[in-house]
């Protein structure tokens, strides 16, 4: 069984370039604006969309994504609405993979079985759930795989060779390598170390390895993309939204356009990655 | 919800996955997994190591002042006119609360593990003070995360922590209370995994924290059980403790869990009442969910977003509870009851006047429940209340509530 993620990653591999994976917060600053942002992503050069599910207590996120989640919750976003957003997007785009990213509690409260049925029906292809390590695979990972939804695991600098097989065991779609120990939005780690880590993980799996946490500019995307199968950008996109919001949350420019401009630049960086590496 | 099967013993949990029935577990980011697996391994070695036990015993006796007394509260008993009320005097420990029991145990673990830096979260500041104290004693730098609201209402404890050399970092997210402090401590830990030991203050968080904190705090119940047998020649009829995260309560309860004739009551913060959202009674008004590394009863909305809650007592101002309490609730072994802010305040004042003891507002919740049930009990019946901490830190809050200036 292949998913949109598998097909997209295979296609990009054939093209010889890494994927640009873009994270944005569902419902930030409101449903309609956020849907417009989502719809603008593929045209701007995003290959895989990570749709953030806001949570009141995002323990692994830095200030930018914390604030985005709060804006979304204040704007009335719920998991029901996040799934609706995915299905509205899906009505106009049946190719771009959508990965839901967030924390477990809203899914647990929604009900795992009901969630998987509704997520599948909404065109969701994969899940990244930060607080479900392999030790908790029975909770959601195994049921998701059974439902035909990829479960994408985070590997981190603390995931050593001994632990890596456990982390990779039920992972599918791609492996998300977290470039440093820390929260989202921190400074990018030493790129040489990241490249070495990607190589190490690839020694254990045939899955594509995407790298995130700390990638903010086209140049960084190019450098990381030289060794990884994909580059994940999140905080920079969330900041692009925040930057066009005034003190009372009023829009001072079009957030979808601001995000599209940023993503176009990142896409150029990613697309030049292997060319640069080949030189 | 189906009631879980009755176990033969209530004292064998958690299982190897760190679960108490459906509660507990290890719901943490991958970055932290290797750390908590290492902690579990080190803890399993340490708890069977006679040297570790001897060092903890020595510090407990000569540094913390254990055993704490089991005191017959004659004034309160006479006032209530029913069952005999005893206080387990954790307020007399060094640093003024039960928190030191856990901090001494965990700092020895941190030392064993070769860690270089201590972080902690705190609500009322009692755990922050105890953490800063053991960090000072063992020469570690210490950062304490504390909600900005709590920094304001527990200023004496903030100053104590600073005197002890700790850095207090106010957290402004959310309502600026214990939940937000815990989020920030977890963010620090995930960033500084190499050298940092996270000294969790309550019997919650990812496995093995609920187990190890309980084991360090169980000295309370172990002593109380032996003391009441010595003083009264029998076990108590009722034992009562306040439950925020639940470390003083599980510490008192655990050694009594298989004494089936002992009624066990945990007291949650009822705040302004359970009808609204101004309370912290997660087991009476919440439902099971996943937060801060474990599954447990949580105050949350229909979308699974965590609510902030409210309590007059900073130490009870937490929307969750340790996972073992959730399990004890569902099995029916322990009964959990709410006490309102006003009732706690009344107990605080009464205890001060008739016993000459100023209890922490947290402990005053437990005393308030004793005030409710003792009058209708027989005079030869016995109630033990865990006086988990002293109330000096709360005098500003109480003065404000009573409309007084100090």
Residue B163's pLDDT is: 98
A82-110 burial string, b = 16+ CB within 10 Å, else e?
bbbbbeebbeeeeebbbbbbbbbbbbbbb
In which order are the strands placed within the sheet that holds B293-298?
Answer: B19-20, B23-27, B293-298, B287-291
Q: What is the largest CA-CA distance in chain B?
A: 57
CA atoms within 13 A on the CB side of A14: 6
Residues B203, B217: Cα–Cα separation, whole Å: 9
Residue A177's pLDDT is: 96
Residues B201, B262: Cα–Cα separation, whole Å: 27
Confidence band (pLDDT; 50, 70, 90) for A1?
low
Name the residue in chain A with its Cα closest to that of B18: A135
Percent residues over pLDDT 90 in chain A: 88
Among residues A28, A47, A61, A118, which one is catalytic? A61
pLDDT (tens digit per residue) in B65-119 = 999 999 999 999 999 999 999 999 999 999 999 999 999 999 999 999 999 999 9
Among residues B131, B247, B313, B388, which one is catalytic? B388
Q: Is B190 on the interface with A (CB under 8 A)?
A: yes
Contact A133 B302 (CB under 8 A): no
- Strand pairing class (A154-155; A175-178): parallel
The rounded mean pLDDT for chain B is 95
Evaluate if pTM is beyond 0.80: yes
Q: Is B34 on the interface with A (CB under 8 A)?
A: yes
Residue B290: its chain A contacts at CB < 8 A? 103-105, 108, 131
Residue A278's pLDDT is: 52
* A214 vs B3, higher pLDDT: A214
Lowest mean pLDDT across A177-191, B165-179, B199-213, B274-288: A177-191
Is pLDDT above 90 for A279? Answer: no
* Token duo for residue A177: 């390598």
Residue A187's pLDDT is: 82
* A181 vs B247, higher pLDDT: B247
- The owner of tokens 């601001």 is A258
Residue B30: its chain A contacts at CB < 8 A? 133, 153-156, 158-159, 167, 178
The DSSP call for residue B390 is B
Residue B2's pLDDT is: 59
pLDDT (tens digit per residue) in B199-224 = 999 999 999 999 999 999 999 999 99
Q: What is the ipTM metric for this complex? A: 0.95
Classify residue B276 as exposed, middle or buried by CB count within 10 Å of its CB (0-12, 13-18, 19+). Answer: exposed
Residue B177's pLDDT is: 86
pLDDT (tens digit per residue) in B339-378 = 999 999 999 999 999 999 999 999 999 999 999 999 999 9
Q: Is B38 on the interface with A (CB under 8 A)?
A: no
Q: Is B22 on the interface with A (CB under 8 A)?
A: no
Confidence band (pLDDT; 50, 70, 90) for B396?
confident
* Token duo for residue A65: 């994504």
Among residues A6, A28, A47, A50, which one is catalytic? A50
Average pLDDT over residues A144-152: 97
Contact B304 A133 (CB under 8 A): no
Contact B304 A107 (CB under 8 A): yes
Active site residue B324: no
Is pLDDT above 60 for A276? Answer: no
- Strand pairing class (A209-212; A175-178): parallel
Contact A60 B291 (CB under 8 A): no
Q: Is A108 on the interface with B (CB under 8 A)?
A: yes
pLDDT (tens digit per residue) in A6-41 = 999 999 999 999 999 999 999 999 999 999 999 999
pLDDT (tens digit per residue) in A192-230 = 999 999 999 999 999 999 999 889 999 999 999 999 999
Average pLDDT over residues A64-76: 95
Active site residue B405: no
Contact B31 A186 (CB under 8 A): no
Residues B396, B398: Cα–Cα separation, whole Å: 5
Contact B303 A106 (CB under 8 A): yes
Contact B190, B32 (CB under 8 A): yes
Residue B16: its chain A contacts at CB < 8 A? none
Confidence band (pLDDT; 50, 70, 90) for B405?
confident
Is pLDDT above 60 for B268? Answer: yes
Residues B379, A210: Cα–Cα separation, whole Å: 70
Contact A23, A47 (CB under 8 A): no
Residues B251, B45: Cα–Cα separation, whole Å: 21
Q: First and final CA of chain A: distance in angstroms?
A: 37
3-class DSSP state of A244 = coil
pLDDT (tens digit per residue) in B143-187 = 999 999 889 888 889 999 999 999 999 999 877 888 999 999 999
In which order are the strands placed within the sheet that holds B142-147?
Answer: B167-171, B142-147, B117-122, B196-198
Contact B303 A80 (CB under 8 A): yes
Is pLDDT above 60 for B1? Answer: no
């Amino acid at each position: 069984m292949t998913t949109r993620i598998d097909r997209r990653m295979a296609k990009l591999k054939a093209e010889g370039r890494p994927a640009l994976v873009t994270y944005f917060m569902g419902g930030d600053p409101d449903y309609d604006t956020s849907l417009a942002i989502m719809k603008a992503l593929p045209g701007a050069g995003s290959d895989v969309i990570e749709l953030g599910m806001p949570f009141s207590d995002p323990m692994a996120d830095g200030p930018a994504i914390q604030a985005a989640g709060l804006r979304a919750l204040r704007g009335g976003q719920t998991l029901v609405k996040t799934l609706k957003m995915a299905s509205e997007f899906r009505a106009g785009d049946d190719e771009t993979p959508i990965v839901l990213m967030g924390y477990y509690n809203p899914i647990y409260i929604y009900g795992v079985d009901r969630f998987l049925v509704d997520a599948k029906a909404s065109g969701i292809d994969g899940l990244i759930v930060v607080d479900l390590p392999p030790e908790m695979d029975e909770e959601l990972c195994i049921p998701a795989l059974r439902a035909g939804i990829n479960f994408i695991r985070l590997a981190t600098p603390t995931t050593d060779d001994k632990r890596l097989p456990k982390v990779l065991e039920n992972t599918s779609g791609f492996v998300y390598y977290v470039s440093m120990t820390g929260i989202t939005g921190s400074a990018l780690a030493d790129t040489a170390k990241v490249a070495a880590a990607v190589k190490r993980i690839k020694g254990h799996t045939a899955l594509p390895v995407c790298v995130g946490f700390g990638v903010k500019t086209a140049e960084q995307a190019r450098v990381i993309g030289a060794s990884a199968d994909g580059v994940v950008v999140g905080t920079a996109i969330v900041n692009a939204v925040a930057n066009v919001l005034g003190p009372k949350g009023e829009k001072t420019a079009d957030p979808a356009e601001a995000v599209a401009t940023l993503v176009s630049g990142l896409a150029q960086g990613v697309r030049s990655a292997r060319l640069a590496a080949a030189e | 919800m189906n009631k879980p099967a009755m176990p033969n013993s209530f004292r064998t949990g958690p299982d190897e996955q760190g679960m108490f029935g459906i509660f507990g577990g290890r719901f943490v980011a991958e970055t932290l997994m290797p750390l908590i697996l290492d902690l579990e391994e080190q803890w399993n070695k340490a708890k069977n190591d006679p040297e570790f036990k001897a060092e903890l015993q020595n510090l407990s006796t000569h540094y913390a002042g254990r055993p704490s007394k089991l005191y017959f509260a004659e004034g309160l008993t006479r006032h209530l006119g029913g069952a005999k009320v005893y206080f387990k005097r954790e307020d007399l420990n060094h640093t003024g609360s039960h928190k030191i029991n856990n901090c001494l145990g965990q700092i020895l673990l941190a030392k064993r593990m070769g860690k270089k830096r201590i972080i902690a979260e705190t609500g009322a500041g009692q755990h922050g003070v105890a953490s800063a104290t053991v960090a000072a004693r063992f020469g570690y730098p210490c950062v304490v995360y504390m909600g900005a609201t709590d920094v304001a209402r527990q200023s004496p404890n903030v100053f104590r922590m600073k005197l002890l050399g700790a850095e207090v970092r106010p957290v402004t997210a959310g309502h600026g209370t214990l939940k937000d402090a815990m989020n920030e401590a977890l963010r620090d830990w995930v960033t500084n995994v190499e050298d940092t030991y996270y000294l969790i203050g309550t019997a919650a968080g990812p496995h093995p924290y609920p187990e190890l904190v309980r084991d360090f705090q169980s000295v309370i119940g172990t002593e109380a059980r032996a003391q009441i047998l010595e003083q009264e020649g029998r076990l108590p009829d009722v034992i009562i403790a306040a439950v925020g995260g639940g470390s003083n309560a599980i510490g008192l309860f655990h050694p009594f869990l298989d004494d089936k004739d002992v009624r066990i009551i945990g007291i949650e913060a009822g705040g302004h009442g359970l009808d609204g959202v101004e309370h912290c009674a997660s087991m009476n008004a919440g439902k099971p969910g996943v937060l801060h590394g474990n599954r447990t009863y949580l105050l949350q909305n229909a979308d699974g977003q965590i609510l902030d809650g409210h309590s007059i007592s900073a130490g009870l101002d937490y929307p969750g509870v340790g996972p073992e309490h959730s399990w004890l609730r569902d099995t029916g072994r322990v009964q959990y009851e709410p006490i309102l802010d006003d009732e706690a305040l009344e107990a605080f004042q009464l205890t001060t006047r008739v016993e000459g003891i100023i209890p922490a507002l947290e402990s005053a919740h437990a005393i308030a429940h004793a005030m409710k049930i003792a009058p209708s009990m027989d005079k030869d019946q016995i109630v033990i209340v865990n006086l988990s901490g002293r109330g000096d830190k709360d005098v500003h809050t109480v003065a404000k509530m009573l409309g007084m200036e100090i």
